[in-house]
Structure 1
Amino acid sequence: MKKFEGNHSTEERFLLLGFSDWPSLQPVLFVLVLLCYLLTLMGNSALVLLAVREPRLHTPMYYFLCHLALVDTGFTTSVVPSLLANLRGRALRLERGGCLAQLCASLALGSAECVLLAVMAVDRAAAVCRPLRYACLASPRLCHALAGAAWLGGLTNSAAQTALLAARPLCAPRRVDHFICELPALLQLACNGGGQDSTERQMFAARVFILLVPSAVILASYGGVVRAVWGMRTRGSRRKAVGTCGSHLTAVCLFYGSAIYTYLQPAHNYNQRRGKFISLFYTVVTPALNPLIYTLKNKEVKGAARRLLGGVGGGQDAQ
């Protein structure tokens, strides 16, 4: 039996419309999302396996890349199952608890990626700007602490935002023109009054902090990289420095561009129809592209893959 408090119930259900208003597009999206998800799982798993098995990849750069692969895999996994179910039907109904759990998981992993990309930018800047002191600067203990800070920062931001949203009454009809329980879309359902504007300002400030502070760190890091590259005398050194940072900068632009558009705008200005396509890009497509971005032109990873495959093939031949 339902109990009502004001104009919301304790047994709230959310109707995720997904792409039901694009019925002809749903089969195409289903195939695309499934392929991207499989590519994410295979690419990131292979990257982690190579970084763990190959001694030459036991460096800070690949250590952080392993964490990025784990974050991307979890981030996509928190979204894709419900999205695939949504694409096979008209709409998806979620209980309030399930919706908040999905929000908490995706927000934690997405926030962790924001911080982790900033940590990786600092690592690349240290490698380019202080090559002689890099081994001392990027000690294993410091790398573990920075990776832990990325995970802790993501969990803290997610817990705070989810708790603030859970305390807000969400008014009927609880129809969300989205494929996941994403924060900007859910905030559009929030009832007015009762000091709720103050709560929304707190949530917006938290989103600004978790996006703009890492962005500032990334900009400062690459500012230092540009100055260091400009001062290099040989073309080979410049090419190596650009190759070291180019892959990471591409991943940063893909992730931050769509995430900033989604989260750094007031809830009343959020366009759910446009927002769900942008969210599709950074939750499904970008995690699938990241392994390719980091490995296609990376000779160390290619060499490690050849050695691993050669060792497996040699072992089978010996048997």
Structure 2
Amino acid sequence: MLVDLWTQKGRISFLACATQMCFFLMLGGTECLLLAVMAYDRYVAICNPLHYALVMNHKVCSQLVAASWITAVPAVIGETGLIFSLPFCTSHMINHFFCDIPPVLKLACGDTFVNDIAFYVVAVAVVFIMVPFLLIVVSYGKIISNILKLTSARGRSKAFSTCSSHLTVVVLFYGTAIITYLQPKPDQYEEMGKLISIFYTILIPTLNPIIYTLRNKDIMMALRKVLAQLLV
């Protein structure tokens, strides 16, 4: 994608398109699962702080990360293989800036019903969006319930700040992804879909390091200095 943006050729081979889609879905799907794992981590840290070091030890963290990758990889490879095994029509113009599933499926000849079901039910609804999102909602439901039981306003503020960065990333990432993949299919939504996809493919990953380090005092001091210099 970066080469195409640099050269302005706008061409990609069949194999490169399949590879790009596979890695995009693999990394995106893994991020969804990792966000659910991080929500569980925040739940343990806030609701069971005394047992945190025991529950979320290095072995458990490694297993959760490995499970996220192991779950995403076979589902993505199978979905990509299913899509690129379809016959494609004479028009090979992808109405997008990268090889995503909906615009590629529009180029396929014949019946794509099985692929649509596999994508929206298995890949989107079950593996990558709905199940991780429901796990995040359940985790934060328990977190909020626990925080509201705290009598100290300072304790509630500290608990909320512990999960503020992760919650911000979840809202940004899932909000744009859900709008993109679960929106209606008419052509008038295509331009909006391309615009929104820029957020979860480029903008949000770029902002992630900043969002996750906003609670770091050194980062905040450096940010204040930069803002002060810009305002002078």
* TM-score interval, smaller chain: 0.7 to 0.9
Structure 2 counterpart of 1:201: 117
**1:257 paired residue among 172, 175, 186:** 175
Matched with 1:121 is: 39
Find 1:241's aligned residue among 153, 156, 159.
159
- Map 1:149-188 → 2, pairs under 5 A: 149-188=67-106
Q: What amino acid sits opposite 1:120 in the alignment?
A: M
Tell me which residue corresponds to 1:97. Answer: 15
Contact 1:108–1:155, Cα closer than 8 Å, also in 2: yes
Aligned to 1:139: 57
Between Structure 1 and Structure 2, the one with more helix by share is: 2
Find the structure with the greater CA-based Rg.
1
Relative distance call for 1:192 and 1:202 in structure 2 (3 A) is same
Matches within 5 A, 1:282-301: 282-299=200-217
Flag the structure with higher strand content: 1
The question of whether the paired residues in 1 share the 8 Å contact of 2:4 and 2:11 is answered with no
Mapped contact 1:177–1:185 kept (Cα < 8 A)? yes
Matches within 5 A, 1:205-220: 205-206=121-122, 207-209=124-126, 210-220=128-138
RMSD value, Cα:
2.1
Distance 2:195 2:120 in 1: 22
The aligned residue for residue 221 of structure 1 is 139
Q: Deviations over 1:141-186 (max 9, x none)?
A: 1100001111222212321210110111122211112110011111
| Structure 2 unaligned spans of 5+ | 223-232
* CA–CA distance in structure 1, aligned partners of residues 113 and 188 of structure 2: 16
* TM superposition score normalised by structure 1: 0.64
Conserved 8 A contact 1:188-1:268: no
Q: 1:106 aligns with which of 24, 49, 60?
A: 24
**Residues 270/120 of structure 1: CA separation in 2 closer, same or farther (3 Å cut):** farther
The one-character-per-residue Cα deviations of 1:14-54 (angstroms, maximum 9, x if unpaired) are xxxxxxxxxxxxxxxxxxxxxxxxxxxxxxxxxxxxxxxxx
Q: 1:181 to 1:280 in 2, by over 3 A?
A: same
The corresponding residue for 2:5 is: 84
SS at match of 1:92: coil
Q: Which residue of 2 aligns with 1:273?
A: 191
